Structure 1
Amino acid sequence: MKEGLKIVLSGPSGSGKGTIVKELIKNEQFLLSISVTTRQPRQGEEEGVHYFFKTKEAFEKMIAQDELLEYACFCDNYYGTPKAFIEESVKKGKDVILEIEVQGAQQIKEIYPDAIFIFVIPPSLAELESRLVGRGTEERNIIDQRLKRAKEELALYTTYDYIVVNDRLVEAIEDINRIVGAEKLRSCHYAAEIEEIIHN
């Protein structure tokens, strides 16, 4: 069995990366990386499905033992990406998606330089603003902060391998499936087969 791929997916708030991930994982070949958190489970959240829930002490032990790819603290709670889950899943042949913010993606690149880095962008800043306003969940000052942050994140596009413009969801998903298909055909994934052919 060939190992699966590690796929890092980032994009500004409102780019639609979350919606893309929900569609991709309907295909059983893909698996979404599950984060570890110290916050309390919300209603309907399940251990090992939505998050791995840990105490602050257990999380800090994971940090000390270098068991996390990246982590951050928001509102007095830790959130992080566990290495073991990803590495075990990839060994089983699953393509693991890590939906990660730009800063976290840069940390992951240092640990997994062989991962595929995909940056999801909106077709325009005006469209991004329209999507953020359309959510109806945030005040105007927060939307303005998100737009400012989006420009900062977009400036880092060259740190990614691929850009996917999410204008139409179906096309964006097709683009990602094509990227994954092409990556699986890279020569580095065929070393064992080629060696067997040569030496038999």
Structure 2
Amino acid sequence: MSMIVTLSGMSTSGKTTFAKAMGDHPQFRKPVSVTTRAMREGEVDGVDYHFVTPETFNAMIANDELLEYEASHTAMYGTSAAEVERILSQGMSVLPILEPEGVISMQAIAAKRNLPFVSVYIDADMPVIMSRFFGRLDEEKAKKGEVNYLPHANRLKVMLEQEMLWPERTTWGLVLSNLQAPGRLEQAIRTLESISATGVIPPTEQPVKRTAITQWSAQDLASLLEQHYVNASSGAKFWALLSASTQLAKDPEPDSHVIHI
């Protein structure tokens, strides 16, 4: 049956990997989002994204052509009504990756169209998320021979201050955790297949609520990333530092803001 299934989760939680795994499924299609960000090497317009200017994006907003849109990092992203209608008209299900605000908008659209809807939250333990984040540094180092830490720090700051709070932004219809564990990804795919076939959403626990980490500037995070990466530290150890800093910020003592690494 046709339905709207949204995917959400922190950066590096595994939601994009899950969406790609669902890409070959005959029932599910990821809508091509509209974005104002620059096209990256290897990307194709109309396949990876519909790349538009900020002026065009704003015109689409004014003309009610976007079902949902929001700012993410340094660009705007949105889902066009035409793209969703195209997929639904073919009898398939829409599988967009959205932030919580977009999920709420899509839920309202599904209710208006009387379509089945399920919001899926892809969760992962924070040491896993940080390890994957360090993997992005590895990729840049392998590709460019060096790492520009500040852009990664800016993204990390958004993760720590905003994305950490996503679990409590809405009530999630289905929570899938730690898809990197053996067999979990395949099990998650089977779960969505069952929902699509029967319309029955299995009982789910909500993701664990987390505390935002706000005491680090982007420049400080960049310095910390560089020190840990150069010293071949792990993402898990880096997360231990960040989580310890949160506790110190809650219960400060003399010189407690100084954290040695």
Question: Which TM-score applies when normalising by structure 1?
Answer: 0.75
Over the aligned positions, Cα root-mean-square deviation in angstroms equals 2.8
1:41-80 counterparts in 2 under 5 A? 41-74=39-72, 77-80=75-78
Residue 161 of structure 1 corresponds to which residue in structure 2?
173
Residue 119 of structure 1 corresponds to which residue in structure 2?
121
- Return 5+ residue gaps in structure 1 as ranges: 186-200
State the number of aligned residues. Answer: 181
Percent sequence identity over aligned pairs: 32
The structure with more strand, counted as a fraction of residues: 1
Question: Any idea what SS the aligned residue of 1:13 has?
Answer: coil
Question: Any idea what SS the aligned residue of 1:136 has?
Answer: helix
- Return 5+ residue gaps in structure 2 as ranges: 139-148, 202-261
Change in 2 beyond 3 A, CA 1:172/1:49: same
Question: Contact 1:129 / 1:143 at 8 angstroms: preserved in 2?
Answer: no
The 1-side partners of 2:45 and 2:128 are apart by: 36
Deviations along 1:7-50, one digit per CA (max 9) or x if unpaired, are: 11111222201000001011232211111123343333222211
Q: Does 1:173 align with 2:171?
A: no
Which amino acid is 2:189 matched to? I
Residue 81 of structure 1 corresponds to which residue in structure 2?
79
The 2-side partners of 1:61 and 1:144 are apart by: 30
The 1-side partners of 2:4 and 2:24 are apart by: 17
The 2-side partners of 1:53 and 1:31 are apart by: 19
Which structure: larger Rg? 2
Q: CA deviation at 1:85?
A: 0.9
Residue 183 of structure 1 corresponds to which residue in structure 2?
199
Question: Any idea what SS the aligned residue of 2:120 has?
Answer: strand
The 2-side partners of 1:51 and 1:31 are apart by: 14
The 2-side partners of 1:147 and 1:78 are apart by: 20
The 2-side partners of 1:35 and 1:52 are apart by: 6
Q: CA deviation at 1:109?
A: 2.2
Change in 2 beyond 3 A, CA 1:134/1:6: same
Which amino acid is 1:151 matched to? M
Residue 91 of structure 1 corresponds to which residue in structure 2?
89
Question: Any idea what SS the aligned residue of 1:112 has?
Answer: helix
Q: Does 1:36 align with 2:48?
A: no
Residue 132 of structure 2 corresponds to which residue in structure 1?
131
Residue 191 of structure 1 corresponds to which residue in structure 2?
none
Question: Contact 1:31 / 1:96 at 8 angstroms: preserved in 2?
Answer: yes
Question: Which TM-score applies when normalising by structure 2?
Answer: 0.60
- Worse-matched range after superposition: 81-90 or 65-74: 65-74
| Higher RCO (CA < 8 A, seq sep 6+) | 1
Change in 2 beyond 3 A, CA 1:142/1:99: closer
